[in-house]
Structure 1
Amino acid sequence: MPAALSMLLPVCLIENDGSNLVVNEEAKKLLAGISEPVIVVAIVGKYRTGKSFLMNRLAGSNSGFPLGSSIQSKTKGIWMWCVPHPQKPGHVLVLLDTEGLGDVEKGDSKNDTWIFSLTVLLSSALVFNSMGTIDQQAIEQLHYVTELTEVIKLKSSDAKDETAEYKKYFPSFTWCVRDFTLVLERDGKEITEDEYLRMSLELKPGENFQNFNLPRECIRNFFHSHKCFVFDRPTSTKNLHHLDELKESELEEEFVEQAARFYDHVMKSCNVKMLTGEIPVTGKMLGNLTSLYVDTIQSGSIPCMENAVLALTEIENTRALQDALSNYECGMNRHVPSFPTLTEQEFLNMHTKCLSGAIKVFMSHSLNDKDQKYLEELKNQIHKKKEEFMKINDYKSREVCKDLLQNLTLTIQNGLMLGRYSRCGGHKLFIMDKLQFLERYNRMPGKGVKSLEVLEDFIRENQSIEAAILAAEEKITQAENQLAESHSQAMEAQRQRESEEQRSRALQQALDKQSASHQQHINCMTDMMEQNRRRVIQDNMSLIAQRLQAQQSALSSTHQQTLNQLQRTIEELKIQNSQRHSGGGGGGCILC
């Protein structure tokens, strides 16, 4: 408990100038740092009765709360001293020392009533300090208890509070009688201090004793337990002026023993300050309660314990909600540097862990949230915060993926700039580069939950590029096909021309060859005919010679008619020979 340990001396909790009560913000800040349950022991009584000395003893010190040695009250308002409880670990002992009641310098008894009522409202153990004995005068000093029902309300309804109900919410009551000189006996029998208190609070029957009985009834009915301690004078009168400077050995032994019993009772028997519903009060809650009660009094209203609890519940639960929400935000902010998460489940695991921590914080700081109104509000606000962190996670995932895509598509971008895909087969090449970059993208770690979505968006956004490449390739292919067709047609025409020329040449060659062959044949035929003509002529000449020879041989035996006939024949033969020589058809010699 850092705040309590830092309190080496008391501080003023409620300042009082006689007409206004003001909560000291420094003291409230100290209480706000105490998250442990508090046991609040407050002391009231007339001024100059040694209240501060007892409170210093409870704090384990001889000094702290100022000890007045003059007729003027040293303590104004309500002073506070927080110390770790010496016998109850995890608890804080809050000591409240009030200004003396009945100070003639104040001149306003109502101010004392408010100081007393605030002490009752804030404490779990109320100590009343008086001098001498418990007699009518001493009890009349406690007339403030008779006014408690007028200055403190238990419930907000207009119905009158039952007196017995105050016991549930008011502190225990301890009466410390200082400078006690009587013998604790009754009817010759020794009695205890507690029996002495009970005897002093006994009622007298009859209507004539209403004023006598009223304060006693209030003490008996308002406080759930009653305890009494009597103290001898601590030291001689001359030493009382510097009591805080005396060592324990310089005090009266009987007083030291009595003070030790009082100390032991407070440490063992005084309980944690509780609110309705058995809600333990922490230092922070006590500070808020103090402000609520003081503000109510200063506004002219009557403090209502039920309303105070409701207001405190709202304050504490609102603060618990904010603390829990801050705990969730801090927890998730610690994870933000590791964003983006690989999967949504990984993010949900982070969220669930932080949500669990936030709910633990809320449950440890919340107050009486029976209908879970504030817990549900916490869950709603955490859900909104979760959505914000999801957006951060998604944003980081998108940025990582976009940067990755930008780097991985440099090859494709350069290819587009250099016209790598603006040719026949360019689309196929583009698809190959695209598949390669997709494979590399899928292998890269740390892309986060939006990996697929960003990739799909990227592909969708770049469909036009692929479509343009495909359309360009189709145009190029179409042009090349047309060019190829034109070239093919030209080649075919060329081939046909060449074929025709080849056929023409072959035909010409065949014709030339045929002509040559024909000419050769003609020449051969001419030569053969010439040869035949010559042979025929030669044969005819030979035949003529033979015939002439025959004729000459036969002249003598034939008659002149035959000779003449032969002569005609010879002439005819000459005529025929003459015609063949001039180009006539060569035929064989026609013999007579």
Structure 2
Amino acid sequence: MVLKLHFPTETLQDLLNLHTDCEKEAISIFMTHSFKDDTHKFQKELVQILESKKNDFIRQNEEESTKYCQTKLEDLSQTLMEAISQGTFSVPGGYKLYRKEREKIMNNYHQVPRRGIKADEVLQRFLQSLAMTGESILQTDQALTDKEKALEAEQVKREAAEKKKELLEQQQMEMQQNMEAQQRSYEENINQLKKKMEEDRIQILREQEMILDHKLKVYGDWDQWSCLGSKPSTMAGRGWADGQGRQICLHVVNMVESKGKSWLYFHC
């Protein structure tokens, strides 16, 4: 999966989809090569390992996204920070200039590709870090009336509330996506297990058939099968070799092998 993955992914769903594909492949390979795992101990361990790896990738993906977005915002906001330090906005009409510069940073930030799943959260923290500075510039701007300042302050609060709501909705969506991925993982594990059990059952039947065919060739010419009503070879030809008939044939032939013809003479 590491070879197929490039951090950060654009969305959490991109990462989960890739994990689902790799998990399906891993379980399939395990089922193909596993044996003597009747209690499914090793299969459960595999599922736990895959889940742990998924969580590790999610954390790494978030960390890479956070680091990348912080670096981009630092670069984009360098001019703004220098202007704040130099008092560029501490003039009449300065708040309008400040808002314009801040909007420019946000627009440029939204154009950055592959920001990852922490893009909105990092932007939200960046805007929060500017909140007090923006409020100070607003209140000292002599070109604005008290009413205009109040309206601007209210606008800032609305924008912050909207961003917070969007971030919460994104987090809820990602949580739902993760839960759905876990459900798909569980269903895939069950389906693979059922497939393996069916393959094992068919293989056992084939092996029994081969054993029975071999033993019928060895003992099929004997005439002492009256206790069964027919020779095993005849029974097999009639379809008795399937199901219960196969088990009866195998039992009788095994008893003959272990106890000799005398057992068959006695019981017939």
| Equivalence map 1:385-396=2 (5 Å) | 385-396=53-64
* Letter of the 2:33 counterpart: H
1:417 aligns with 2:85: yes
- Write out per-residue CA displacement over residues 216-262 of structure 1, whole angstroms, 9 at most, x where no aligned residue: xxxxxxxxxxxxxxxxxxxxxxxxxxxxxxxxxxxxxxxxxxxxxxx
- Write out per-residue CA displacement over residues 534-570 of structure 1, whole angstroms, 9 at most, x where no aligned residue: xxxxxxxxxxxxxxxxxxxxxxxxxxxxxxxxxxxxx
Matched residues in 2 for 1:381 and 1:472: separation? 58
Shift of 1:354: 1.6
Q: 2:212 maps to what in 1? A: none
Q: 2:3 maps to what in 1? A: 334
Q: Identity over aligned residues, as a percent?
A: 32
| Equivalence map 1:532-551=2 (5 Å) | none
| Equivalence map 1:462-501=2 (5 Å) | 462-473=130-141
Q: Is the 8 A contact 1:340 1:446 kept in 2?
A: yes
Q: 1:105 maps to what in 2? A: none
2:122 pairs, out of 443, 454, 466, with 454
Q: Is the 8 A contact 1:423 1:476 kept in 2?
A: no
Shift of 1:335: 3.5
Q: 1:361 maps to what in 2? A: 29
* Letter of the 1:333 counterpart: V
1:397 pairs, out of 65, 69, 74, with 65
Q: Is the 8 A contact 1:412 1:433 kept in 2?
A: yes
1:350 aligns with 2:18: yes
| Equivalence map 1:288-299=2 (5 Å) | none
1:382 pairs, out of 6, 28, 50, with 50
Matched residues in 2 for 1:415 and 1:346: separation? 39
Matched residues in 1 for 2:16 and 2:135: separation? 40
* Letter of the 1:391 counterpart: R
Q: SS of 1:367's equivalent? A: coil
Runs of 4+ in 1 over 2 A off after TM superposition: 368-374, 471-478
Matched residues in 1 for 2:140 and 2:41: separation? 66
- Structure possessing the higher relative contact order (Cα contacts under 8 Å, 6 or more residues apart): 2
What TM-score does the superposition give when structure 2 sets the normalisation length? 0.50
| Equivalence map 1:1-80=2 (5 Å) | none
Q: Is the 8 A contact 1:424 1:477 kept in 2?
A: no
- Write out per-residue CA displacement over residues 489-548 of structure 1, whole angstroms, 9 at most, x where no aligned residue: xxxxxxxxxxxxxxxxxxxxxxxxxxxxxxxxxxxxxxxxxxxxxxxxxxxxxxxxxxxx
Q: Is the 8 A contact 2:90 2:137 kept in 1?
A: yes
Q: 1:306 maps to what in 2? A: none
- Write out per-residue CA displacement over residues 90-143 of structure 1, whole angstroms, 9 at most, x where no aligned residue: xxxxxxxxxxxxxxxxxxxxxxxxxxxxxxxxxxxxxxxxxxxxxxxxxxxxxx
Counterparts in 2 of 1:421 and 1:353: CA distance versus 1, 3 Å: same
* Letter of the 1:386 counterpart: K
Shift of 1:384: 1.3
* Letter of the 1:334 counterpart: L
Matched residues in 2 for 1:477 and 1:375: separation? 70
Shift of 1:365: 2.7
Q: SS of 1:462's equivalent? A: helix
Higher strand share: 1
1:406 pairs, out of 74, 78, 82, with 74
Matched residues in 1 for 2:42 and 2:117: separation? 32
Q: 2:248 maps to what in 1? A: none
Q: How many residues align?
A: 146
Matched residues in 2 for 1:396 and 1:421: separation? 34
Shift of 1:426: 1.1
1:373 aligns with 2:41: yes
1:435 aligns with 2:103: yes
- Write out per-residue CA displacement over residues 391-436 of structure 1, whole angstroms, 9 at most, x where no aligned residue: 1111111111011101111221121122111112111111111111
Counterparts in 2 of 1:468 and 1:474: CA distance versus 1, 3 Å: same
Shift of 1:455: 0.8
